[in-house]
Amino acid sequence: MAACALELIQISKRFGLVKANQDISLCVPAGSIHGIIGENGAGKSSLVNIIYGFYQADSGEIRIQGQPIKIQDSKQAIAAGIGMVHQHFMLVEEFTALENIMLGAEGGLLLHEGEQRVRQRLAELSRLYGLEVPLDTPVNQLAVGVQQRIEILKTLYREARILILDEPTGVLTPQEADELFKILRALKADGVTILLITHKLREIMAITDQVSVMRQGKMVAHRVTAETSMPELAELMVGRKLQQSFERLARPTGELLLQVRDLTVYDRQGWLRVNKVNFHVAAGEVVGIAGVSGNGQTELLQALAGILPLSSGEILFAGQTITAQQPSNPARMRDLGMAHVPEDRHRMGLVLSFAADQSSILGYQRADKYNQGWRLEESVIRHEYAERAEQFDIRPRDPLLGSSHFSGGNQQKIVLAREIGAEPSVLLVGQPTRGVDIGAIEFIHQQLMTMRNEGKGIVLVSVELDEIMRLADRIIVMCDGMITGEVSREEANEQILGLLMANALGVGVNEQPGSSA
Ligand SMILES: Nc1ncnc2c1ncn2[C@@H]1O[C@H](COP(=O)(O)OP(=O)(O)OP(=O)(O)O)[C@@H](O)[C@H]1O
């Protein structure tokens, strides 16, 4: 086996009472792709944040190419040849790709001559590893997959030879994930060492050479990928066998809960995002909305939740008609019985500086049960949070811990527990299991199915086709803001959905098969 490009020796890290990492030892052989898996809160992000200098280990040693090294900040990590692509990108959205890549690399924006040099180098890197990136477009106009390529390019421009990716496919479509894997294989072929954190065992099997399993802060197993299997890894991660199916009551769908007619929505930058969309949701059904991310699904959910204004068309919900002239807002939609789990929990689902129990009532803080005169009823909030944390297995249980201090998957559970706990008649849910471990995915799917079986309506946006096909009764596909098709649960398969996602059938504005009007 090749020498360790990166070696960890008995790394430990505590946050208050939480032992995030306990005596972690790991050797990542040079030029290999090494996976790390583990449940939410197992300590994966903490570990890579230590390697990248965001956190300091309480004890233990890091060695790069056999040499012990102290990494006190990200500058030192970069100088040691380590690059990191975070779960949440670190790009300045208004800047172009080029500006982002240059930012901080050579003291900010360069003179024209310098810029040409940078462009040349980036062109070389792009060619070498298949990293196509439009350099002069502001980042906020680029698809998520492209933004991620910018992050990778940025690390390579800084000469990273060890690349850490923290859940890189959580935000990608299957096609974008395939692209990423091609890039990772090209990097590996060139001798780059890759450390990959993911919840997706299929990805582990497809791309890694070795895999290490973490549980509750400890490293519990190492395997050569070719010598293990998904069931073995799943069991090592959660310490039990997973249930494969859940109860889906065969029930006739009920009354119409939500109708959307000719809905057109522009985003805050003035781009047309939702283009004359028609669909409905009945009681007792999950309507899945599939699509490559960035094709209007986010804005559709936001318009339904009262966050984005309608440009034209109407939403009929709970006896109310919402139009451009008669707009709504999030508080009113909540009062009417619409709950929303936003796709981006960091920006919209939580206030990161709030304690967990405060985040758990966000948006519902005006409800009578939480208020006593002018004051918030803290004991009621705390009691309710304790119940939800127990039910959703939010770890750690501490209601006073800041929301930013929870692991990604546990933050997601806080948001889900709040919105499902509000007992809406329609739940809008975007990427419910992004960053969530397989045990928790099973639990969340079960919760959504229970809501459906109880006669609630669910609009489920997900880039995970497996998830949509598992949960949805009907699947609507969006491309370029339009509905390009609708398939029943029985008809759905990856090929059909893939074709509709690419609008290969060339559906236009006036011939939407998803129309229910
Ligand atoms: N800054 C912090 N302050 C307090 N506790 C923290 C902090 N960062 C992490 N923790 C805690 O450390 C533990 C490990 O968290 P970590 O984010 O490393 O888990 P993870 O395996 O990456 O989880 P996920 O898959 O959900 O992203 C968790 O219990 C978390 O709440």
pLDDT tens digits for 350-385?
Answer: 777 788 888 887 788 777 777 777 677 778 888 888
- Cα 512–488–497 angle (5° rounding)? 70
Distance 42 CA to ligand 1 centre (A): 7
Same domain, yes or no: 230 and 257: no
pLDDT value at residue 36: 97
pLDDT value at residue 246: 66
For residues 148 and 171, is the Cβ–Cβ distance under 8 A?
A: yes
Answer whether residue 515 shows pLDDT above 60. no
User: Whose CA is closest to 291, among 514, 471, 494, 479?
Assistant: 479
**Alpha-carbon span 127 to 133, nearest angstrom:** 11
Assign 88 to helix, strand or coil. coil
Distance 487 CA to ligand 1 centre (A): 39
If one compares 458 and 231, the residue with the highest pLDDT of the two is 458
Split into its structural domains, the chain has a count of 3
The domain boundary, picked from 238, 257, 283, lies at 238
Same domain, yes or no: 191 and 328: no
What is the average pLDDT value for the chain, to the nearest integer? 88
User: Whose CA is closest to 429, among 394, 395, 466, 468?
Assistant: 468
Same domain, yes or no: 192 and 213: yes
For residues 288 and 474, is the Cβ–Cβ distance under 8 A?
A: yes
State which amino acid sits at residue 76: Q
13, 14, 15: residue to mutate for ligand 1 pocket, most atoms within 8 A of CB? 15
Same domain, yes or no: 419 and 429: no
Query: Is residue 216, in this structure, part of any structural domain at all?
Result: yes
Confidence of residue 103 (pLDDT cuts 50, 70, 90): confident
Same domain, yes or no: 162 and 25: yes
Same domain, yes or no: 273 and 319: yes
Distance 414 CA to ligand 1 centre (A): 14
Output the six-digit token pair for 235.
Answer: 């069991």
pLDDT value at residue 243: 63
For the CA of 217, the closest atom of ligand 1 is 14
The domain boundary, picked from 371, 390, 423, lies at 423
pLDDT value at residue 445: 92
Only one residue has tokens 């810029």, namely: 115
Q: Who contacts 451 (Cβ-Cβ below 8 Å, separation ≥6)?
A: 420, 427, 458
Answer whether residue 61 shows pLDDT above 90. yes
Distance 395 CA to ligand 1 centre (A): 9
> Ligand 1 within 6 A of 20 CB?
yes
The domain boundary, picked from 378, 407, 423, lies at 423
Distance 160 CA to ligand 1 centre (A): 25
> Ligand 1 within 6 A of 43 CB?
yes
Name the closest-CA residue to atom 28, ligand 1.
41
Indicate the pairing of strand 256-266 with strand 312-317: antiparallel
CATH number for position 287 = 3.40.50.300
Query: Is residue 358, in this structure, part of any structural domain at all?
Result: yes
Query: Is residue 244, in this structure, part of any structural domain at all?
Result: no
Query: Is residue 61, in this structure, part of any structural domain at all?
Result: yes
Name the closest-CA residue to atom 12, ligand 1.
20
Q: What is the phi/psi pair of residue 105, to 5°?
A: -75, -40
Same domain, yes or no: 117 and 45: yes
Structural domain including 201 reads 4-238
pLDDT value at residue 275: 96
Query: Is residue 344, in this structure, part of any structural domain at all?
Result: no
For residues 188 and 31, is the Cβ–Cβ distance under 8 A?
A: yes
Same domain, yes or no: 289 and 419: no
Query: Is residue 343, in this structure, part of any structural domain at all?
Result: no
Same domain, yes or no: 298 and 416: no
pLDDT value at residue 516: 33
User: Whose CA is closest to 453, among 244, 252, 318?
Assistant: 252
Same domain, yes or no: 497 and 468: yes
Q: What is the mean pLDDT of residues 207-232?
A: 95
Distance 23 CA to ligand 1 centre (A): 16
For the CA of 39, the closest atom of ligand 1 is 25
Length of the chain: 517
Same domain, yes or no: 200 and 72: yes
Name the closest-CA residue to atom 1, ligand 1.
405
> Ligand 1 within 6 A of 513 CB?
no
Confidence of residue 397 (pLDDT cuts 50, 70, 90): confident
Q: Which value, to the nearest 10 degrees, does the dihedral of the CA atoms of residues 169, 172, 176, 180 take?
A: -30
Q: Pick the most confident of 59-73, 114-128, 398-412, 489-503.
A: 59-73
pLDDT in tens, 269-289: 898 999 999 999 999 999 999
Query: Is residue 346, in this structure, part of any structural domain at all?
Result: no
Confidence of residue 346 (pLDDT cuts 50, 70, 90): low
For the CA of 406, the closest atom of ligand 1 is 31
Name the maximum alpha-carbon separation found in the chain: 68
Q: Is the ipTM of this complex over 0.85?
A: yes
pLDDT value at residue 514: 38
Same domain, yes or no: 399 and 431: no
